[in-house]
């Protein structure tokens, strides 16, 4: 298991996130138990392919297959200095649209909460587009309330990023900090042992969505998805949303264009015109419809 320690040290040196390190180590431990070879130097491309084929036979998901391949590549290239030319293609993972709440459902979710601290947490998570891990690790001195922004420190990919603090929450955040006697270096939302746990936030949202009778699978990241989608519905461009979310690739952000409500686009279905021509010639609606189409074509 010295190889595992070597991978840990190398990943720490390269500033990989703790979650990625933990995932890679888990994958490598399972591979090494399967390999059962005294010498790691004897690992070949065939060993890697056979192991991945075994995972495929077990019916693992495409994302699980990909992360195992990435972990093995890291071990071989960066720890064992084996420069194999891998021709193993990454598995395609099915792309599904994320679950998003309507603006009305977001309001219902907030209104279902009686605990003011829990309500403030969810409002900030939605209003700033924060990941749950970013929320629970926020400290008071990460917030610049005078200028309506804050900083996520060492977020996903071990990166810092700026986020916008909703103006409507400024006074509430100040009152909360004063009431709870929070120091500048205190966690904004304390738990029993330091900061609040991710699990606690998950439970809060689960219970709130059930109480609000929202018939969707709601979890903390749903609020971030909703934040991004509602920004686009409100007319903000993808580049701005990408920056606020901290996405490296615009393609990651583009998914929210597909989720935004159709009413953000001033276009009518062609079926409406067919129905118009057949049933509503005398209603005056046809004239209104033609004006709409004309205005769109001129934009």
Of 82, 154, 247, 268, the catalytic one is 247
- 16, 24, 51, 256: the catalytic one is 256
Check if the beta carbon of residue 32 is closer than 8 Å to that of residue 24: no
- Verify whether residue 221 is a known catalytic residue: yes
Is residue 14 part of the annotated active site? The answer reads no
Catalytic annotation on 230? no
d(CA 262, CA 227): 17
Cα-Cα-Cα-Cα torsion 41, 44, 45, 46, nearest 10 degrees, comes to -150
Residue of 224, 225, 227, 230 with catalytic role: 224
Catalytic residue among 30, 49, 82, 221: 221
Instruction: Given the residues 118, 123, 131, 225, select the one marked as catalytic.
Output: 131
Select which of 73, 139, 156, 206 is catalytic.
Answer: 156
* DSSP class per residue in 201-238: HHHHHHHHHHHTT--S---HHHHHHHHHHHHHHTT--H
The catalytic residues are 131, 156, 221, 224, 247, 256
């Amino acid at each position: 298991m010295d190889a595992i320690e070597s991978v840990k040290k190398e990943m720490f040196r390269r500033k990989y996130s703790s979650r990625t390190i933990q995932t890679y180590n888990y994958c490598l431990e399972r591979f090494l138990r399967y390999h059962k070879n005294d010498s790691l130097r004897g690992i070949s491309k065939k060993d890697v392919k056979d192991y991945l084929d075994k995972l495929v036979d077990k019916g693992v998901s495409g994302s699980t297959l990909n992360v195992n391949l990435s972990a093995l590549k890291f071990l071989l290239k960066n720890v064992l200095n084996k420069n194999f030319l891998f021709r193993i293609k990454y598995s395609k993972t099915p792309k599904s649209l994320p679950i998003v709440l309507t603006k009305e459902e977001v309001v219902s979710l907030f209104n279902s909460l009686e605990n003011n601290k829990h309500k403030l947490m969810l409002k900030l998570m939605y209003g700033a587009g924060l990941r749950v891990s970013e929320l629970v690790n926020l400290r008071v001195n990460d917030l610049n309330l005078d200028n309506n922004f804050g900083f996520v420190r060492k977020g996903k990919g071990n990166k810092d990023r700026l986020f916008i603090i909703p103006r409507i929450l400024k006074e509430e955040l100040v009152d909360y900090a004063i009431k709870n006697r929070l120091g500048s270096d205190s966690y904004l939302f304390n738990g029993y042992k330091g900061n609040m746990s991710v699990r606690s936030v998950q439970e809060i949202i689960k219970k709130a969505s059930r109480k609000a009778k929202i018939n969707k699978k709601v979890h903390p990241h749903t609020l971030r998805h909703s934040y991004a989608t509602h920004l686009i519905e409100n007319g903000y461009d993808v580049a701005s949303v990408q920056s606020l979310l901290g996405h490296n690739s615009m393609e990651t952000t583009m998914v929210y264009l597909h989720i935004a409500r159709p009413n953000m686009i001033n276009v009518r279905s062609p079926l409406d015109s067919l129905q118009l021509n057949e049933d509503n010639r005398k209603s005056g609606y046809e004239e209104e419809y033609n004006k709409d189409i004309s205005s769109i074509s001129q934009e």
